[in-house]
Structure 1
Amino acid sequence: MTPDPAISAVAALDDALRQGMYAHIRRARRPVTRDEAAAAVGISRKLAAFHLDKLVDAGLLRARYEAVGGIRKVGRTPKVYEPADIDIRVTIPERRHEVLAGILVDAVLAAGEGDDARAAAVQVAGRRGAELGAAERARARPGRLGAERALTLVESLLARHGFEPGRESPTCLRLRNCPFHPLAAQAPDLVCGINHAFLSGMLTGLAATRVRAVLAPRPGECCVELSSAAAKPSDIQT
């Protein structure tokens, strides 16, 4: 299983010295040398270098060699550190509010005056899902997909996007987690419709023609079920 970068980043900050140096570098608003980071938390330069490189490995900092203040001096150019462009969010189970937010923003931008905002959001969600599915198909190159093979590919893809898929049968995939919760609880018709369109679009992008996404909500789970087009979905609601 591939480690979650966000969890790795949080784990790297589970140390008072690293927290202190990371906070100092973020406040500095400029590249910071090892000497400066060491002085900020009161440790040796050598120990600071160890912890700073751990933060780089975790993706929290970027490092490069640069003359401080643009002034070249005799000797080795110092290594400097600055914050990486990373937004750390860890939730268990995983939530993907940024995906939903992106869909809604695109829908607002795409909708003309008098257009139905809900319909625009569903359309954008379908397109986003299709892009995701097409990218996965290009990566995996699965060829022609039967229902069971398609569901196996879909299961792996959705696991990486926080849906916690579980195979109820060879031809049925339930999604144990809704990445858009608790927003789905506030506006279930809207969010479930977007989710359904997103997953349907994903199947289209994958060219998984033998699988369909249907609304089949269950308490505590995602509202969508993926199953063979020939199978009878469980408890379908529209």
Structure 2
Amino acid sequence: MLGHIIIIEEKGRAPVLERETVLGLPLLRASVPAPEGARPRAVERRVGKAARALAAEGVRRVLTEADFPWRPVLGQWGLRDVDPEALCQAMAAPLALAALEKRGVDPARATVALRGNRVSRPFFQAAVQLCARVRGLVVEAPSGGGALADHLRREYGVPVLEEGRGELTVGFSQSGGDGETQLRLYGPEPDLLGMALGLTEKRLPPEFDTLPLLAALWEEGRISQDELTVFANKLT
């Protein structure tokens, strides 16, 4: 069960637990009362009570609003955010193409560098998907990079280098590339170069941080990659 912590501008001292469903995803919501004028320390204590209550119900991961300021309190009770890394890496090729377009670069004239510690499944899939759209690739991965470069040259006939720079770098792990225009698709806070992921035909509730919610929906099979789209600017 995933948790959802939401701050509500209502009177009260104790958080209220309720079950909710968001686009088919079951959640255990903890509503934390924080009326206008409530002292920050009082709200922090109530967030702690909500975290303790969720943890007691077996919740280990939670969804919150963007810029939620009490994450350290959640961590004290073993709660952590939903990590969007896997989703972002699965969407590496669409993100890379959108980043090139945003910069006014024709993908057919661009070289994209893929960097990581190893050739993971999303790394491989991104390379294959980009082969048909870009002029060339740079594949830098100590584990499996050479084999992947050989495969791409043999199967797709595209120019593939094992080191170098391109118009855009896609990072799957921390592996250099400083000073380059880089999509950083690893860690709890990926850098999407000002872009955003969203749903093509559905609106997401505003009380959630969008990327972790999409990651949770995708992990649980509530949405597919075909339903996702890349927006040129962050959603507000």
The alignment's TM-score, normalised by the length of structure 2, stands at 0.31
Q: Which has the higher strand share?
A: 2
Structure with the bigger RCO (C-alpha within 8 Å, sep 6+) is: 2
The alignment's TM-score, normalised by the length of structure 1, stands at 0.31
Q: Which has the higher helix share?
A: 1
